[in-house]
Amino acid sequence: MKHILVTGSTDGIGKLLALQLAKEGHFVAIHGRSNAKLNTTLTELKKASNNDNIIGFLADFSDLEAVKKMALEIKNTLPKLDVLVNNAGVLLTKTDATVNGVDLRLVVNYLAPYQLTKALLPLLKKSETPRIVNLSSAAQSPISLKALQGKMSLGANEAYAQSKLALTMWSFYLALQEPNITVVAVNPGSLLNTKMAKEAYGQHWSPAEKGVTILYNLSMTDLAKTGKYFDNDKGAYSKAHADAYNNSKIEELISISNTIVL
């Protein structure tokens, strides 16, 4: 039995992944930002999987203080963490909101998982085979460090693409920093049949299960290769954006991230 945390798991591929893992008898921690939805999902998953070892953690990932609090709760609750799936993400919001001037997508999709993972490293190191799966995207765009510091505004799609490249760059960096932890970045598939794709584009190309399958395989099988990027549109490991291999750009990104995430 593994201890697994899947963020953003009250719907979409995160919820489906949590269900599959729970059905196999693992101890599954889910995360959501609405208490009502989190509790409903917990009840649903326990019933559907016949597994009571499912717990929920609440945090709005646009609030880094809430992320910090959630990380502390996780550390006080779980004996160890074998797998962390950083799945939570946002593309469209009702307002193009910013947090202290930083685009919401940069906060939720990159800074929040950065902060959460950093805080949970001691718990991951208690596992014999720790693993981190970071959800990237086919959309990857060079990062504006000014935007990350809240000194420049971005459009929704641009901010999303920048957040996903930042996550990929950090994945590669973390894999080198923590050689005993398998860290893999993945594009689970473009326009999967999820709420995010429907809200943003009103269409989908592939069933959500395509994303669930690759997340499961990277989380639980020997498919995962540390410091690599798996592109599920191609069904294989692939090259990420060139910036993900640029050490000076990665160091700049991490340096600024560390001033934001204390």
Block residue for tokens 């596992």: 127
Please say if the pLDDT value at position 206 is more than 70.
no
Contacts of 190 (CB under 8 A, 6+ apart): 137, 138, 205, 206, 233
| Domains in the chain with CATH codes | 3-260 (3.40.50.720)
pLDDT number for residue 151: 92
Nearest to 202 by CA among 108, 103, 105, 92: 92
Q: What is the pLDDT of residue 202?
A: 46
- Cα angle: 184, vertex 223, 206; to 5 degrees: 80
Dihedral sign of CA atoms 223, 221, 214, 166 in order? negative
Of 103, 174, 72, 78, nearest in space to 133 by CA: 174
Least confident of 19-33, 150-164, 180-194, 239-253: 180-194
| Residue 157 confidence (pLDDT) | 87
Which of 16-30, 81-95, 153-167 has the weakest average pLDDT?
Answer: 81-95
Rounded CA separation 178/18 (Å) = 26
User: Which pLDDT score is estimated for 142?
Assistant: 97
Residue 260 above 70 pLDDT? yes
CA–CA separation, 107 and 75 (whole Å): 22
Structure tokens at 170: 């950090």
The answer to whether residue 217 scores a pLDDT higher than 70 is yes
Q: Which residue, among 137, 36, 24, 39, has the nearest Cα to 87 in the 3D structure? A: 137
Mean pLDDT throughout 218-230? 97
Task: Please name which of 151, 156, 159 lies closest in space to residue 96, comparing C-alpha atoms.
Answer: 156
Distance CA 12, CA 5 (A): 15
Averaged pLDDT of the chain: 91
The pLDDT > 90 percentage for the chain reads 81
Region 75-85: what's the mean pLDDT?
98
Task: Please determine, for residue 105, whether its predicted confidence score (pLDDT) is greater than 70.
Answer: yes
**Residue 104 binned pLDDT confidence (cut-offs 50, 70, 90):** very high
Question: Considering only CA atoms, which of 155, 165, 154, 167 is closest in space to residue 116?
Answer: 167
Token digits for 31?
């995360």
